[in-house]
Each structure stands twice: as structure tokens, then as C-alpha cells.
Amino acid sequence: MGPAAAWNDFTFSARDGLRLYARRYPAPGSHLRPVLCLPGLTRNSRDFHDIAMALSSGERARAVYALDSRGRGSSQYDRDWRNYAVPIEMLDVEDLVTLLGLESPAIIGTSRGGLVAMVLAAAQPTAVGAVVLNDIGPVIERGGLIRIAGYVGSMPLPSSWEDAANMVAEMNRRAFPAVRQDQWAEIARQWFNEANGRPAPGYDPNLARSFSVTDGPIPALWPQFMALARVPLLVIRAENSDILSAATVQQMRARHPQCASLTVAGQGHAPLLKDAETIAAIAGFLADVDAGRPVAGDLGRAA
């Protein structure tokens, strides 16, 4: 199969009428299981560009779709900030899966996107065929939540793309020592939208109103996690994660009969899914799922 074409942009209406944006990375002629990518709390489909290009090209190309959740990226802002909630975002994913006619897709869920995947598996078991949880699990560390709450809706808007790259690097360099300095400019363009050639907000600031850590610890989501027990699972943890602990990953593997795990060295929450080793591990996991091979064990570290 030849190289994949560039992605296609498209929009669709959620069941409440909100216009949502998504990307399609086609793999013409492929009959392999498609992949649906769901981003983190303040992030968007641009986060998955590298892995989507890799998975949708080559001899084992498969179609990849990536969604901008409501109020993020190029999706429409919701007038009611209360709709920035995992159950509502799960319904949006249901609508997209139905629209595209996807049958048991593999879902790559980063952080918040992984929570959506768990809830989707509980609500619609047949809508999920395999899952990659990127730095998220049923137990969410409070320290990481406090850190995230400290910047959601309050990040200053950089005046130029150079300033944006410097800001993103300064915020993340300690947790992501493996990321080269020249990569931060690319990452900044994932975080921020663009308007008139300058950085623009990448999400609705009202998202901060829906995200609170003042109500105490989040209950463990083991029932939602166990909804994934019927499908193969790959758990990716950042070596420097403050959201997903190594102990929680061990428990996930102990409770899930088809669970493999991978640690990404030199990165924090959440792994960027740009390095060749992590992409290869995800591609290998999907190939094992396609072939019906057992999925389990510690896959080691991706440098």
C-alpha cells in the first residue's frame, strides 16, 4: 500500500447541535481495524498527527480519526460550560462512531480521552475493539490534578510563536527532559490555535469552570476500567507522570486479563506519542490485536 494522503478536515453535528471538528487520516483499501484518537482535557486532534501519519501509512496502514472535543481546537464552544463533562463528551464520541460507521475501533485515549474511552466501554461495549490508555487509569493522582487546575483557563496568551515555544518549554522542560529544544515550537502549535498568523486560545476558557479539585479526591474508577476487560489494552505511562502511578499500572495489569504496559522515559504527563519507539509499540499492539495474539506483560521502556 502506498503512502497515505494528508489528512482531511471535517465537521459534524453532535446530538445537541454543536458543531464538532475532526481529522481523517485515510488508508485507501485497508481493511484493518480503524483507530479513533481522543485528546486530553485542554488538547486537540493535532496532538495525534505524528502517530496518525505513521499508522495510516506503510504496509499495515489503517484509517485514523482524531477528534477535537467540544470547546477545544476547532470545535464549537458550548454555551453551557457544564457540558464540558466526560459523559457528554462520550455521547459526542458515540455520534462520531455512528456517523463514520466504525465497527469496534481501537481507541487511543490521552488522559481525559482515556476516561471517555472507559465510560464509552461501559455504556456501549461493542463500540470499542481495543484501547490504548495514554497516562491515565482508574486512580488519578491528586498532585497532578492540582497542577493542571493551576493552569487551565489562566495561561497567558503569547504574543508570537517564538514566545509560545518558550512558554511551553518553560512549563514542561523539567517533566520532559527527553524533548529536544527544537521540538517545543512544534508542540506549541499543537497547544494553541492560530489566528492572523499569531497564537490564539486553543480551548474555551470556561473549561476551567468544569474542572475543580476543591471537592476532594476523585473516586477510584475501577468499575469503569473493568468495562475494558473484554478488549485488549495497552497502558502507556510517562516515567515522570504525576497523574498515573506505577503502582496503579501494576493493579491495572493484575485486574485486566489482556493488559500490556509501556513506560515512556524522559517524559511527563502525558507522553507526546511522537518518538519512534512509542509509535512502534502502539503499532505492534494493534498488529497483535489484529492477529488475535495474546496481549499482556511489561513492554519495558521507550526511550
Residue 122, exposed/middle/buried by CB under 10 A (0-12, 13-18, 19+)? middle
* pTM, to two decimals: 0.95
Tell me the Ramachandran region of residue 153: left when phi exceeds 0, alpha when psi lies from -120 to 50, beta otherwise. Answer: left
% residues pLDDT > 70 (the chain): 96
Residues near 209 by Cβ (< 8 Å), separated by ≥ 6?
81, 84, 153
Q: From 3.40.50.1820, 3.40.50.2300, 3.40.50.300, 3.30.1360.120, which CATH number describes the 8-153+203-302 domain?
A: 3.40.50.1820
Q: What three-state secondary structure class fits 73?
A: coil
pLDDT over threshold 80, residue 217? no
Identify the three-state secondary structure at position 164.
helix
Instruction: Identify any residues that bridge with 302 across adjacent strands, giving them in sequence order.
Output: 264
Say whether pLDDT at 95 is over 90: yes
CA distance 153 to 207: 7
198, pLDDT greater than 90: yes
Residue 213 pLDDT grade (very low, low, confident, very high; cuts 50, 70, 90): low
Q: What tens digit of pLDDT does each residue of 223-232 get?
A: 999 999 999 9
Inform me whether the pLDDT recorded for 286 exceeds 80.
Answer: yes
